[in-house]
Structure 1
Amino acid sequence: MSIFDGLLGNASEHDAQEIQQDLERLLASDERVEKAYAILRDQIIFTNKRLILLDKQGVTGKKKEYLSVPYRSIERFSTETTGHFDLDAELKIWIRGAAEPISKTFRNDQNILDISRALAEYAL
């Protein structure tokens, strides 16, 4: 990931093995990280069993929230790409039992389509 991509809010793919090591204590014994993307400090992580949304909080990012979503709980998702005047791309994921979708904003289309493809592969 380029430091400029991170600062600008562009998603970038991360090394799955590195993320696997970082999440070792959180993952089930037979669970493995298959894809991971970073958006600023947050991450979208695809394992062979679930989607993990990592939200780093605070100034230092030491406090973290891990939202674990089993793929079977994803009802639908949408991908909105950038336009001429609207420079933000947006990903929305509707989870069974939740009134509002999970929403992530990207600064361009660079990896949002890759993330959308990964969602299609795992959730459908």
Structure 2
Amino acid sequence: MGFLDGLMGNASQVDVNKLEKELEGILIDGEEIQSGYKVLRDSFIFTDRRLLLLDKQGMTGKKVEYHSIPYKSITHFSVETAGSFDLDSELKIWLSGSNEPIGKLFKKDSPIEEVQQTLAAYVL
């Protein structure tokens, strides 16, 4: 189901150790990854200092655009849990200066509560 979930836009949690190796040249000294999630080839990573969005481009995905969002730029966020018929949870993040939120879908068994707690710890 992992591949089908990816095609449907669902996010899955990524191993922090794998992310640390992948982001070795991007993270600053002392910055620690808290959690990370992947949608197809793209990822969003919560560190203790910022939210990193990775946009892999091209056929091979070797070209990557890194969006670095300081937590102070997040004006508000919402988390919608899965229901009986709606099997997906959803995360929306609004940034200062932007009208449209960044939105990601999570499969039913994803730890959406952990995502909410991570955002709350750094934004509030």
TM-score tier by shorter-chain length is: 0.7 to 0.9
In 2, Cα distance between equivalents of 1:51 and 1:63: 19
Whether the 8 Å CA contact 2:12–2:106 is kept in 1: the answer is no
| 1:18-33 superposed matches below 5 A | 18-33=18-33
Tell me how many residue pairs correspond in the alignment. 121
TM-score (norm 2): 0.80
Partner of 2:82: 82
Matched, 1:8 2:11: no
Paired residue type of 1:66: Y
Gaps of 5+ in 2: none
Deviates more, 1:61-70 or 1:4-13: 4-13
What residue number does 1:59 align with?
A: 59
Distance in structure 1 (CA, Å) of the matches to 2:107 and 2:40: 10
In structure 2, the CA distance between the partners of 1:86 and 1:96, relative to structure 1 (3 Å rule), is: same
Which whole-Å CA distance do the structure 2 matches of 1:103 and 1:51 have between them? 13
Where in structure 1 are there 5+ consecutive unaligned residues? none
SS at match of 1:93: strand
AA in 2 matched with 1:5 = G
Secondary structure (helix, strand or coil) at the match of 2:108 reads: coil
Percent of aligned pairs with the same amino acid: 51
CA shift, 1:103, in A, is 1.0
Corresponding residue number in structure 1 for 2:41: 41
SS of structure 2 residue aligned to 1:25 = coil
TM-score normalised over the length of structure 1: 0.80
The answer (yes or no) to whether the contact 1:82–1:108 under 8 Å persists in 2 is yes
Q: Return structure 1 stretches of 4+ with deviation > 3 angstroms.
A: 9-12
Taking the aligned partners of 1:120 and 1:78, their CA distance within structure 2 comes to 10
Gap change, CA 1:64 and 1:78, over 3 Å in 2 = same
